[in-house]
Amino acid sequence: MSSSMNKYRNDFAIRFAQLMQERLPIWKQTQKEERSSLYSLVSIAGYILVSLLGFIPGKNETNYDLNLHFIIAVICFIVAVIINIQTTNKTYQTRVKRTFFSELLHVFDKNIKYARNQKIPSSYFENCKLYNHTIEIRTDDDVFYGNYKDVDFTINETDFGYETRDSKGRKHYHSMFKGAAMLFLMNKQIKSRVLIRSKTLLNFTPQDFEKVELESCDFAKKYNVFVEKNIADGSGQIEARYLLNTAFMDRLMQIQTSFKVSKMDCSIFGNEMLVMLSTNKDLFEMNHLLGKIDDIKQYYHLFDEFASVLSFIEVLNLSSKTKL
């Protein structure tokens, strides 16, 4: 994290305390309402109904074992309770996040907002050259957007993929991506598309791209860099090397570190920079429904995540009007 971001940490704590003083009674009431729904008559009826499924005899069951079915019924009951807690927790977090996250992130800039309906259009993912299939199914969670240092950006938790059918007509889902997608609209133009991909066991050069050889460094050990070959004057390699300066590489790696994800890919073309952080865990989480909402320690991860993103914008000088 850059030193310029460290100055915000104390402001973050102060703003957190202010928000808790102003809004804690309202948020606690929200928490109480959602907790109460876990043992409402509707929920209890649902638990019992699901548990009764455990007493249904199996298709090929010849000797009905009541003790075994009782155990299955108990397991069904517990699973129903756990699923309801998870679902209700998501509803609770969404209700609080609408006000809490936006106001807390104003520490960095008043233009940063939380809004689930401002997602990144699927066309960006389909045209980025990181994926080779049309998106057929997509679900979205948290979305943050705003402007920082004259750069528009959107951070979007998303999960997308497509379906196929086997010979028996059964559907099979194929995941293309799950995690956090980040779109930055730069004030400079990249003429040759640049792809940055985490190294895996199977590393290959995409069609119509060529590999950019980097000097020995931590970045080169973790990522492969490719540039499109269709530029007549061959300036793609030069452009990619110009872009991949030390600041760029350090800050890009810092984003992956801050979000604690194992895989990161990036596509850059024109004024668009798309960073894809792959993970199966929920990001941008706040306190659990059954936890304490006013414990600041559980929100420092949010600070670190956004500090890394804004440092990326700041240090890269994405707002520069320089033409490559």
C-alpha–C-alpha distance, residues 30 and 36, integer Å: 10
Could you tell me the residue ranges of all domains in the chain? 3-316
Nearest residue to 116 (alpha-carbon basis) of 83, 139, 92: 139
State the residue for tokens 């865990």: 281
Contact present, 38 and 85 (Cβ < 8 Å): yes
Q: What is the pLDDT of residue 216?
A: 63
C-alpha–C-alpha distance, residues 267 and 226, integer Å: 10
C-alpha–C-alpha distance, residues 4 and 111, integer Å: 18
Q: Whole-structure pTM over 0.75, yes or no? A: yes
CB neighbour class for 156 (10 Å; exposed up to 12, middle 13-18, buried from 19): buried
- Per run of 10 residues, the mean pLDDT along the chain (length 324 residues) is 65 84 87 92 94 88 87 94 93 83 81 84 93 91 87 92 87 91 86 88 79 80 86 70 82 86 91 92 82 81 83 67 49
Q: What is the pLDDT of residue 324?
A: 47
C-alpha–C-alpha distance, residues 140 and 150, integer Å: 26
Q: What is the pLDDT of residue 1?
A: 53
Q: Within a 10 A sphere around the Cβ of 303, how many other Cβ atoms?
A: 23
Contact present, 276 and 183 (Cβ < 8 Å): no
Contact present, 143 and 156 (Cβ < 8 Å): yes
Contact present, 250 and 233 (Cβ < 8 Å): no
What are the DSSP calls for 10-75, one per residue? HHHHHHHHHHHHHHHHHHHHHHHHHHHHTTSHHHHHHHHHHHHGGGSPPTT--S--HHHHHHHHHH
Q: What is the pLDDT of residue 128?
A: 93
